[in-house]
């Protein structure tokens, strides 16, 4: 019996049984598309290693409990993957156009190939000759990577079946199409079907599959969200075009920690690993200036120091502007409200601009205190101590709450030459860090200590 068609929202991926002009889930207009059901797979297969025998966790061998990993030699990439590439896994890599996704994966494919893996790079956006030109510019022509330019998924799977590579890179999933799905390449049904076929093939044949995905103007991976659920790992390649820094961030990882980051620098010879990202993000920091504060943060499992820059100026309009780059705009509004309510510092009639230097994006809540310090420094036109690192979470009551991994933050600050740290009042004292520690119990005490009584 044939299955009835379903309808999917291209904006949020919600599925409905009938078409409508407006998605009831996200409220977007004219985003509902009909999706024909996938053909039924072969039935009658039992679960487990043999027919009729279920598999329990106690039956797993030691090799099956710990999936074997292959290290590429690109330390930053291996860190984000959780220690290396896992066999029979599917990895989805997304990022803005021109950010360097193809460059990163071509370099990684070359390193894997030189390490003994059989690697195939399949592009639906470039010809094999164009890929060779890029490889020549990157100095990768001696790497034994097999290249192919194709978009028909049936041909690609047939080639993968015959060649049996250890790693296959598909660039990109939006260009792949199945002749069994009646829609254009890049549509919801094509992307979903192609991702399903490639992921299933990787699991069946034990091939590591890396898929490149485009992103929308909102910064989300294009296509249905179900694609992110299909794969094992979702990586975002972030960065600003005006900066040479690139950050590879894990948003999902079944084989390692999420929110881990790897830092690269874009050069004329491709992407170069950054061993000490804190020194890189602070390398262009000049003389102490009002509105500048150094934040000692934690990204994934590594401490990273970066600079918050704030500018406070009189607003020429009745509605002051709040502009944020690299941080959460809603959290900035909360910090401004706490400063006004608990400390009596008004920002009414003032435009507020906040930026994270270097194009880095910060999600650590411990950045609250550094942001408050940068805002007060800009408003009072008073520079903060250049040798001070700041971190701490601010609550709505104005209290400064302790944060995790305090010792790692302090060690990183000391390694980069900082001599003092402003941090929350600790419940228990840690080991000696070699820094002068200035503990703050609440935001009013912090403002009074650094900028005088309000």
Question: Which of 223, 255, 275 is at the close of a domain?
Answer: 275
Residue environment code for 18-31, b if the CB has 16+ CB neighbours within 10 A, otherwise e: eeeeebeeeeeeeb
Model confidence, pTM: 0.78
Confidence of residue 308 (pLDDT cuts 50, 70, 90): very high
36 is in an annotated binding site: no
Claim to verify: residue 218 and residue 241 sit in the same structural domain: yes
Residue environment code for 165-203, b if the CB has 16+ CB neighbours within 10 A, otherwise e: bbbbbbbbbbbbbbeebebebbbbbbbbbbbebbbebbe
Question: Which of 275, 292, 324 is at the close of a domain?
Answer: 275
Domain assignment present for residue 269? The answer is yes
Q: Given this model, what pLDDT does residue 31 score?
A: 83
Rounded CA-CA distance 218/349 in Å is 30
Rg (CA), the chain: 26
Average pLDDT taken over every residue of the chain: 87
Q: Convert the pLDDT of each residue in 68-117 to its tens digit.
A: 789 998 999 999 999 999 999 999 999 888 889 999 999 999 999 999 99
Per-residue pLDDT, averaged over 156-178, amounts to: 93
102 is in an annotated binding site: yes
Rounded CA-CA distance 168/126 in Å is 16
Q: Given this model, what pLDDT does residue 286 score?
A: 67
Residue environment code for 234-273, b if the CB has 16+ CB neighbours within 10 A, otherwise e: bbbbbbbeeebbbbbbbeebebbeebbbbbbbbeeebbee
pLDDT of 259 strictly over 90? no
Q: Given this model, what pLDDT does residue 64 score?
A: 53
Claim to verify: residue 311 and residue 259 sit in the same structural domain: no
Q: 276 by DSSP, 3-state: which?
A: coil
pLDDT of 65 strictly over 60? no
Domain that holds residue 351: 280-451
Domain assignment present for residue 367? The answer is yes
Claim to verify: residue 149 and residue 180 sit in the same structural domain: yes
Share of the chain above pLDDT 70, in %: 89
Strand (E) or helix (H) holding 134: helix 128-137
- Contact predicate 212/170, CB 8 Å: yes
99 is in an annotated binding site: yes
Q: 36 by DSSP, 3-state: which?
A: coil
Rounded CA-CA distance 186/216 in Å is 12
pLDDT of 402 strictly over 50? yes
95 is in an annotated binding site: yes
Kindly compute the dihedral angle of the four CA atoms of residues 387, 391, 392, 397, in this order, to the nearest 10 degrees. Answer: 60
What would the DSSP string read from start to end of 342-356?
A: HH----TTEEEEEEE
Least confident of 177-181, 293-297, 326-330, 419-423: 177-181
Phi, psi angle pair for 103, to nearest 5°: -65, -45
Q: Given this model, what pLDDT does residue 97 score?
A: 85
Claim to verify: residue 418 and residue 290 sit in the same structural domain: yes
Claim to verify: residue 104 and residue 132 sit in the same structural domain: yes
Rounded CA-CA distance 424/409 in Å is 13
Claim to verify: residue 238 and residue 370 sit in the same structural domain: no
270 is in an annotated binding site: no
Kindly compute the dihedral angle of the four CA atoms of residues 223, 239, 395, 404, in this order, to the nearest 10 degrees. Answer: 100
Question: Which of 275, 292, 326 is at the close of a domain?
Answer: 275
CA 215, 219, 223 angle in degrees (round to 5)? 40
Q: What is the DSSP letter of 29?
A: B
Rounded CA-CA distance 233/253 in Å is 4
CA 294, 296, 300 angle in degrees (round to 5)? 135
Rounded CA-CA distance 354/4 in Å is 51
96 is in an annotated binding site: yes
Rounded CA-CA distance 101/399 in Å is 42
Rounded CA-CA distance 226/206 in Å is 22
Q: Where are the beta strands (DSSP E) in 73-153?
A: 85-86, 90-95, 119-123, 145-149
Domain assignment present for residue 210? The answer is yes
Q: Convert the pLDDT of each residue in 262-275 to its tens digit.
A: 999 988 889 999 98
165 is in an annotated binding site: no
Q: Which residues contact 185 (CB under 8 A, 6 or more apart)?
A: 151, 174, 175, 176, 177
- Better-predicted residue by pLDDT, 191 or 282: 191
Domain assignment present for residue 52? The answer is no
262 is in an annotated binding site: no
Claim to verify: residue 189 and residue 249 sit in the same structural domain: yes
Count how many domains the chain has. Answer: 3
């Amino acid at each position: 019996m044939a299955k009835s068609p379903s309808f999917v929202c291209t904006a949020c991926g919600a599925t409905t049984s009938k078409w409508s002009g407006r998605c009831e889930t996200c409220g977007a207009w004219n985003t509902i598309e009909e999706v024909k059901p996938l053909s039924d797979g072969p039935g009658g297969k039992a679960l487990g290693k043999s027919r009729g025998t279920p598999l329990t966790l106690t039956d797993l061998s030691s090799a099956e409990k710990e999936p074997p990993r292959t290290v590429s030699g690109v330390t930053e990439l291996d860190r984000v993957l959780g220690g290396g590439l896992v066999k029979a896994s599917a990895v989805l890599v997304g990022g803005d156009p021109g950010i360097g996704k193809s460059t990163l994966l071509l370099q990684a494919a070359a390193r894997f190939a030189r390490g003994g893996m059989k690697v195939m790079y399949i592009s639906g956006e470039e010809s094999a000759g164009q890929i060779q030109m890029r490889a020549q510019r990157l100095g990768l022509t001696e790497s034994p990577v097999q290249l192919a330019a194709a978009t028909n998924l049936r041909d690609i799977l047939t080639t993968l079946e015959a060649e049996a590579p250890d790693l296959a890179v598909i660039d990109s999933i939006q260009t792949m199409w199945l002749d069994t799905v009646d829609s254009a390449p890049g549509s919801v049904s094509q992307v979903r079907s192609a991702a399903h076929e490639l992921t299933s093939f990787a699991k069946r044949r034990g091939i590591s599959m890396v898929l490149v995905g485009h992103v929308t103007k909102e910064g989300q991976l294009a296509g249905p969200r179900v694609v992110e659920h299909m794969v094992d790992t979702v990586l975002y390649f972030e960065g600003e075009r005006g900066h040479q820094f690139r950050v590879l961030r894990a948003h999902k990882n079944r084989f390692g920690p999420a929110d881990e980051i790897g830092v690269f620098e874009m050069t004329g010879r491709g992407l170069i690993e950054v061993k000490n990202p804190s020194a890189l993000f602070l390398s262009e920091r000049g003389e102490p200036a009002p509105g500048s504060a150094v934040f000692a943060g934690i990204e994934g499992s590594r401490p990273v120091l970066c600079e918050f820059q704030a500018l406070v100026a009189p607003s020429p309009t009745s509605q002051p502007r709040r502009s944020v780059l690299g941080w959460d705009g809603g959290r900035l509004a909360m910090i401004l409200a706490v400063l006004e309510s608990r400390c009596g510092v008004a920002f009414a009639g003032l435009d507020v601009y906040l930026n994270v230097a270097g194009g880095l994006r910060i999600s650590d809540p411990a950045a609250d205190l550094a942001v408050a310090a940068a805002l007060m420094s800009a408003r009072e036109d008073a520079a903060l101590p250049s040798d001070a690192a700041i971190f701490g979470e601010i609550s709505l009551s104005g209290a400064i709450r302790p944060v995790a991994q305090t010792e790692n933050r302090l060690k990183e600050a000391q390694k980069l030459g900082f001599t003092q740290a402003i941090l929350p009042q600790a419940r228990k004292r840690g080991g000696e860090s070699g820094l002068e520690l200035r503990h703050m119990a609440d935001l009013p005490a912090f403002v009074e200590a650094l900028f005088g009584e309000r």
